[in-house]
Amino acid sequence: MRKLTVAIDGPAGAGKSSVAKVLANRVHYLYIDTGAMYRAFTWAVLEKGIDLSDEKAVRDLVDTIDIRLEPQADLCRVYVGSTEVTEAIRTQRVSSHVSAVAALAVVREKLVKLQQAMAQGGGVILDGRDIGTVVLPQADLKIFLTASVDSRARRRYLEVQAKGGSETYEDIAASIAARDDMDSHRAVSPLKKADDAIVVDNSDLDLEQTADVILGLMKERG
């Protein structure tokens, strides 16, 4: 196959990052975890105690922050400066604030430019909520990966339980539904299916089956 640029968009908890990693390993592409970049910025905002209404403080952080991704076979390691935040950015504390941070135009402008630069040349898979509409509108293949709120909440609940967390299924489902609403209605780059994106509903598919479906579409485009 020729080296494609693949954009995977969709709501929180649909498994975008997980399937993107599987696909990248299968076809030896670079996986660019855009969600991790927004989570890393959110982590920095929380660590510094920045009020999102303080435009100067947010702008100063945008101008000085150093976010790095180091893709590896099993995961994408994430750094803010010299601090690894791979695990820290997956906490519920970060999850509950990332939509508000990602909605800030100044933050998106900074991170979109970084993502576009990383995607030059093809052979990349990016996932997020506005990859096919804003970051890579000319992507060779655009996927809108979705699943029911119930399916997404159940998956997240099992992950939390496996890690010894205390969040209830009801809390997780409510959080996912709220984030769907916020992401879909934010003023800047809302969650939206690109007109030429292919919808893949994986409510009843596991990770490998989802990857199989998208790989088939990649082969058709390649």
In this prediction, residue 73 carries a pLDDT of: 67
Residue 71 among known ligand-binding residues: no
Q: Encode pLDDT of 133-185 as tens digits.
A: 999 999 999 999 999 999 999 999 999 999 998 999 999 999 999 999 988 99
Q: What is the mean pLDDT of the chain?
A: 93
Tell whether 15 is in a known binding site: yes
Residue 222: inside a domain: no
Q: Check whether 148 is labelled as a binding-site residue.
A: no
**C-alpha triplet 7, 130, 62: angle, nearest 5°:** 115
Look at residue 35 in the predicted model and tell me its pLDDT.
87
Q: Is 163 annotated as a binding residue?
A: no
Residue 171 lies in a domain: yes
pLDDT tier for residue 187 given thresholds of 50, 70 and 90: confident
Is 175 part of a structural domain of the chain?
Answer: yes
Say whether 11 counts as a known binding-site residue: yes
Q: Is 10 annotated as a binding residue?
A: yes
Domain of 46: which CATH number? 3.40.50.300
Burial of 85 (0-12, 13-18, 19+ CB in 10 A): buried
Query: What's the pLDDT tens digit per position in 84-128?
Result: 999 999 998 999 999 899 889 999 999 999 899 889 989 999 998
17 marked ligand binding residue = yes
| Domain span including residue 200 | 5-217
137 annotated as a binding-site residue: no
Annotated binding-site residue? 113: no
Q: How many domains does the chain have?
A: 1
Q: Output the pTM of the full model.
A: 0.79
Q: Per-residue pLDDT tens for 41-92?
A: 999 999 999 999 999 999 999 999 999 988 776 678 999 999 999 999 999 8
Residue 201 included in any domain = yes
